Amino acid sequence: MGENKKKIPYNPLPEYLAIGPSQIHGAGILAIEDIPGEVVIGISHVYDPNFQHEYIRTPLGGFINHSDTPNCTKSRYFMTNTDDVKIKHDYTRYDLVALEDIAGGEELTTKYTFYNI
């Protein structure tokens, strides 16, 4: 790997989100600042048949709570890379997308679709 690549520390959430107390259940994902509608917030799940329930949950997927009237949704994204024969990465991921404007301090929610609650 090139030494002149800028090293950026890993951040499990975008800097405008935090994990905090939830009014719904335990801990949840909270907006620290306003988020405009239709913004792709980040990856919530990655499909991998080798994992329990076949999905790897990121902090977004692990801490977001269910709501019947959610302010976010999951958008399926399939990526395939056939240009590089040494590294083949075919995977399905789910991005978390804001359905509407979300005010700072508001909890992000989604309607669970991978299983019934």
pLDDT in tens, 34-78: 999 999 999 999 888 888 888 899 999 999 999 999 999 988 877
85-108 mean pLDDT: 83
DSSP per residue over 60-112, as a string?
HHHHPEE-SS-SEEEEEEEE---S-SSS---EEEEEEEESS-B-TTPBPEE--
Pick 84 or 62 by higher pLDDT: 62
> Confidence class of residue 1 from pLDDT cuts 50, 70 and 90?
very low
Are the beta carbons of 18 and 104 closer than 8 angstroms?
A: no
Q: Residue 30 is inside which H or E element, if any?
A: strand 27-31
- The phi and psi torsions of 51 (rounded to 5 degrees) equal -100, 160
pTM score, two decimals?
0.78
Closest CA to 36 of 105, 104, 109: 104
Domain boundaries defined on the chain: 37-100
Pick 74 or 108 by higher pLDDT: 108
